[in-house]
Amino acid sequence: MAETLQNLALGFSVALQPSVLLYAFVGCVVGTLVGVLPGVGPLAGISLLLPATFGLTATNAIVMLAGIYYGAMYGGSTTSILMRIPGEAASVMTCIDGYAMARKGRAGAALAIAAIGSFIAGTGSVIALMLLAPPLANFALRFGPPEYFTLLLLGLLVLAYMSGGSMVKSLAMAVLGLLLGMVGIDQMSGYFRFAYGVMELGDGLGVVPIAVGLFGIAEVLATAGQEVPPKVLKPKLRELLPSRQEWRDSVMPIGRGTVLGFLIGIIPGSAHIISSFVSYAVERRLSRHPEEFGQGAVAGVAGPESANNSATSGAFVPMLALGVPSGPIPAVMMAALMVHGVSPGPLLITQQPELFWGFIAFMYVGNLMLLALNLPMVGIFVNVLRVPYSFLYPSIIMFCVVGVYAVNGSVVDVWIALIMGALGYILRKLGFETAPIVLGAILAPMIELALRQSLAMSDGQYTIFISRPISGTLLAFGAALLLLNLVSWMVRGLDWRRRIPLDEKGENL
């Protein structure tokens, strides 16, 4: 414990440097704006500023990008509560009860609960990250290719299971993503695969164009022709204080959301999105008044908002300790670190203690910064939403183009984003989830390498995945998930995910 505190002191000595604080502040402000603007998610925001971090130190770069990620989680709740439009995907659940509270005249209280819940969850999960990452990194030294393969496979299965709709469809989307990840030069043999003579495809389809296309451009296409955006409710500063009853109602959901979000965040998958869905379902199940959900239940705001913030920190655990990105955003952040010659993984904590502990300390500082930014300045951020949609969506397209082009300076990437946008639009129309595609595409090179190395190690025996204790256990978890899904498919009424009506999941927003 004394060693942890000593390391934390080292981290604060890094995080409180004026330059780090400045970049953290810039990241938090940009992140909040990104979260507030519908259609521009944290991924697009991070992708946009990624090239701008190339000239910074590794610590400043990671702090700024993490500030955007955190800020987007905070800012996303604003549009959900005041307009019933999720600023980013993880805020979908907040729309339901947050907007209902706003219509009852409790917009200020809903915003305050969301911000304070996010702050508590963010801080709590950083403590967990701080305590968990170093021992996990030690444990990860025991991981070989079979363990990595089963871990990544488990991540895809968890994402498919938690996605809410049909697990078969989600798995099909994950496999589609893995196939997209096959484009480019095979890292073991040097063969060009599915590149059709386009040299730029040698490095494969980038994470940024795929994600910006599937989330950013597809969102613009799906909302095309939208008339004037809904009326924005603007709370006054004095209305921000929740009542005593609202405080009481939010304490336990914030606690549960923090724990749940962190645990879900650790598992590779679109953590912050899934965590808010699961938290909402859990809160409704545990509530003494489930009928209040959808009508402005405080727990329906406090739980999901805490969970998605907590999951954000949780997602950094596999990234920092194992070198495995748990989703598209950590993958882009890993890319930013690699540009600076820093490889996230089990050796990061011992080889780069200033960076690791500086990053941990920033999370404490960043949470405070965001709380100070979000509550008193909510009125300023809300003004962004007054931009008419006919001016807003061309701006979003412009940001998507700049963000994608800037990463490699390649028009091919912009074409890929465009094709992915069209694909994402059609898939949404057909009722397929697109998040598993992105994760599949990210994990594809790692999962293929791990599989081929494992088979080479075992002389072609697939039993290697069962015979080794860690990979066997992970595989058993995966099999249990498949079995659970099969059982709930046979006995439809038992599946909790089906009990959330479609309009509450955001499909009809």
Partner 1 sequence: MLTTDRIGGSALCLLALFVMWESRTLPLGTWRQPGPAYFPVLLAALLLILGALVWAMGGGAAPVAGVGWGEARQALVILAVSAFICFGLERLGYRLTMLAALLFLVWLVERKNLLAAAVFAFALSFGSYYLFDTLLRVPLPRGPFGI
Sort 248 into a burial class: Cβ within 10 Å, 0-12 / 13-18 / 19+: exposed
- DSSP 8-state assignment for residue 233: P
Instruction: State the DSSP H helix or E strand holding residue 310, giving kind and residue range, or none if neither.
Output: helix 299-314
Smallest distance from partner 1 to CB 192, Å: 9
Select 139 or 191, whichever has its Cβ closest to partner 1. 191
Shortest Å distance, C-beta 171 to partner 1: 6
100 and 112 Cβ atoms separated by less than 8 Å: no
Residue (68 or 136) nearer to partner 1, CB? 68
Residue nearer to partner 1 on the CB measure, 224 or 368: 224
CB 84 within 8 A of CB 301: no
Closest CA to 266 of 389, 154, 414, 109: 154
* Min dist. Cβ of residue 213 to partner 1 (A): 10
The CB-of-179 to partner 1 minimum distance in angstroms stands at: 5
In the complex, least distance from residue 223 CB atom to partner 1, rounded to whole angstroms = 7
> Which residue, 27 or 124, is less far from partner 1 as judged by CB?
27
Comparison of 97 and 433: residue with beta carbon closer to partner 1: 433
The count of residues in the chain is: 509
CB of 186 to partner 1, least distance (A): 4
| b (16+ CB within 10 A) / e for 53-78 | beebebbbbbbbbbbbbbbbbbbbbb
CB half-sphere exposure, 146, CA atoms < 13 A? 23
Tell me how far apart the alpha carbons of residues 492 and 153 are, in angstroms, rounded to a whole number: 26
Q: In terms of C-beta density within 10 A (0-12 exposed, 13-18 middle, 19 or more buried), how is residue 469 classed?
A: exposed
Q: Which is nearer to partner 1, 452 or 505 (CB)?
A: 452
Supply the minimum distance, in Å, between the C-beta of residue 358 and partner 1: 23
Alpha helices in 163-266 (DSSP H): 167-180, 207-211, 218-222, 244-266
Residues that bind partner 1 (CB under 8 A): 49, 51-52, 55, 166, 168-169, 171-172, 175-176, 178-179, 182, 186, 188-189, 191, 193-194, 217, 220-226, 390-391, 393-395, 397-399, 401-402, 405-406, 409, 411, 414-415, 418, 421-422, 425, 427, 429-432, 448, 451-452, 455-456, 459-460
Whole-angstrom distance, CA of residue 485 vs CA of residue 84? 31
Residue (237 or 398) nearer to partner 1, CB: 398
